[in-house]
Structure 1
Amino acid sequence: MLAKINNFEIDLSKPIDISISLTNTEENPIAWYIEKPVIEPVVFGDWIGKVSEGKSSTNFNNIFFNPHGHGTHTECLGHITNDFYSVNQALKQFFFFAKLITVEPEKIGEDLVITKDHISTSLNVTNASTLLTEKTEAIIIRTLPNQKDKKSRKYSNTNPPYLSEDAATFIRESEIQHLLIDLPSVDKEHDEGKLLAHKAFWNVKDTHQLNADARFEATITEMIFVSDEIPDGNYVLNLQIASFENDASPSKPILYSIVNY
């Protein structure tokens, strides 16, 4: 089934899911020093909310998880601010023109870093303003090496690659509103709470007293997985979240190829 968005056609029958599902098994990815998610039936006395146990007509589970540490999630600037801001209020549109790029982080000291040059080269631009004519509203960053174990990796205390402050600033100055990446964070794991890339992307200068030009509608989506079979290029992104009034929500980003690009 074809749909038209701003004179571009997309095939809705061929969605490309770049999210990682949440499970209560060892296959679930984990970051930030927490345990795996818990999915278990409700128990009231001798009643168990599980059909296979023979005492319930329905499966009735509780789920305990952390959106930041247990899989694909989308966050708003409320993730780093003193005052509360909800991603459910920040994200009000869900379809965007997106560009998928692949980068190999650069070894800098003990770190692997995605630099401004990585981003500008992959986008084939040197000046952020040139992107404004390309309708690029979201950027999706796939990092190399791109092993499938990203879908189950245990990231805690591994110092994963991250985005430099200059790279995040370049993306912001390109007026890209939505940043998606296949890492647990755009920032360094142990950074003394500086959160330079988060702050640069959201244009947050003071987390206790927000500046008027902070980017309330911009989002960061982390812990995606983009298989090697999906080529770099232009897509339409459908960014789906659950309706949590929280700084972050588990999310399901879906790509659609542009038929007539």
Structure 2
Amino acid sequence: MIVVLENKFQIDLSKPIDISIPLTNTDENPIAWYIEKPVIEPVVFDDWIGKVSEGKSSTNFNNIFFNPHGHGTHTECLGHITNDFYSINQSLKQFFFTAKLITVEPEKIEGDFVITKKQISKALNSSNFSKTEAIIIRTLPNQKDKKSRKYSNTNPPYLSEEAAVFIRESEIQHLLIDLPSVDREHDEGKLVAHKAFWNVKDTHNLNEDARFEATITEMIYVPDEIEDGNYLLNIQIVSFENDASPSKPILYALETFDK
């Protein structure tokens, strides 16, 4: 199926570009935040096992135990950091967005690797869209082991508070990144980038201009062959009433055409 965007781009929906990391119960699954790998196993009742290959069941019938924040690609709403409960299923009501993919190499600042406002500003400067609704950040080096990396206690790169403020002030609603968090791993609970992006000043008493519809998607993977530039983005989530859900962000390439 071919669709038209802004009366100047055509999109082939039969050619999706999946930038999510699948969730598995193997050692290949990425892990963050000091937890173990996911568990996917058949239900067992006495001598009955919910697994066809075991000869005890006509169906495969698995339980799955995982954490959306620590076990792969996930999309979260501001309920991730607030005292009151807010659900990603209630926050994310639209699923297609204009998006810009950028690649940055975090700068070494006081021993950490940080994505700065200057880098984001420079990368966003050129866009054919009247408005970019989402930003997708691919970091360098872009090794394939991002798909299976064990991030706990490694101090991964993160987004500076100023960069997060700039993204918010650029009216970008959806931030996607190939790191386990937009914030520093050990930051004493400050979460300055999360708060800056969602415009949350007090997590116990939200200000009226907090960004309830904005989302952050972490732990994506964008292969090198996918070029920087403008895309149509589809964010797919599970209908969990939770602050976050495992997600499947999909990009669609844009082709200009003559009317």
Instruction: Give the alignment's TM-score, normalised by structure 2.
Output: 0.97
* Aligned match of 1:14: 15
Aligned twin of 1:106:
107
Letter in structure 1 aligned against 2:46: G
1:256 partner letter: Y
Alignment match, 2:207: 211
Of 148, 153, 158, 1:152 maps to 148
Which amino acid in 1 is paired with 2:167? I
Q: Following TM superposition, by how much is the alpha carbon of 1:240 offset from its aligned partner in structure 2, in angstroms? A: 0.4
Partner of 1:252: 248
Aligned to 1:32: 33
| Letter of the structure 2 residue corresponding to residue 2 of structure 1 | I
SS at match of 2:233: strand
Superposition deviation, residue 122 in structure 1 = 1.0
Q: Is the 8 A contact 1:132 1:175 kept in 2?
A: no
Find 2:195's aligned residue among 177, 193, 199.
Answer: 199
* Secondary structure in structure 1 of the residue aligned to 2:255: coil
Q: Name the residue aligned to 2:3.
A: 3
Letter in 2 for 1:46: D
CA 1:259–1:183 in 2, change beyond 3 Å: closer, same or farther? same
Q: Which secondary structure state, in structure 1, belongs to the residue aligned with residue 149 of structure 2?
A: coil
Aligned equivalents of 2:125, 2:204: Cα separation in 1: 37
Q: Which residue of 1 aligns with 2:228?
A: 232
Q: Give, in angstroms, the shift of residue 124 of structure 1.
A: 2.0
Alpha-carbon separation, structure 1, partners of 2:128 and 2:181: 26
Q: Which amino acid aligns with 2:221?
A: F
In the TM superposition, residue 41 of structure 1 has moved relative to its aligned partner by: 0.1
Corresponding residue for residue 49 of structure 1? 50
What secondary structure does 1:237 align onto?
A: strand
Change (3 A) 1:196 1:132: farther
Consecutive unaligned residues of structure 2, counting only runs of 5 or more, are: none
Distance in 1 between the 2:225 and 2:130 partners? Answer: 24
Unaligned runs of 5+ in 1: 126-130
Identity %, equivalent residues: 84
CA distance in 2, matches of 1:205, 1:170: 16
- Structure 1 residue 17: Cα displacement: 0.1
SS at 1:239 equivalent: strand
Per-residue deviation, 1:6: 3.4
> Quick check: 151-160 or 8-17, which moved more?
8-17
Give the secondary structure class of the aligned counterpart of 2:156. Answer: coil
Give the Cα–Cα distance (whole angstroms) in 1 for the partners of residues 66 and 5 of structure 2: 35
1:128 paired residue number: none
The alpha-carbon deviation at position 134 of structure 1 amounts to 2.8
TM-superposition CA deviations, 1:105-157 (whole Å, max 9, x none): 000011000000010011127xxxxx896320000000000000000000000
- SS of match in other structure, 1:217: coil
Which residue of 2 is the match for residue 176 of structure 1? 172
Count of aligned positions: 256
Moved more, 217-226 or 115-124: 115-124
Give the AA of the match of 1:116.
K
Q: CA RMSD in A?
A: 1.2
Residue 30 of structure 1 contacts residue 154 of structure 1 at CA under 8 Å; is this kept in 2?
A: yes
Letter in 2 for 1:29: P
User: TM-score scaled to structure 1, two decimals?
Assistant: 0.96
Counterpart of 2:113, as a letter, is L
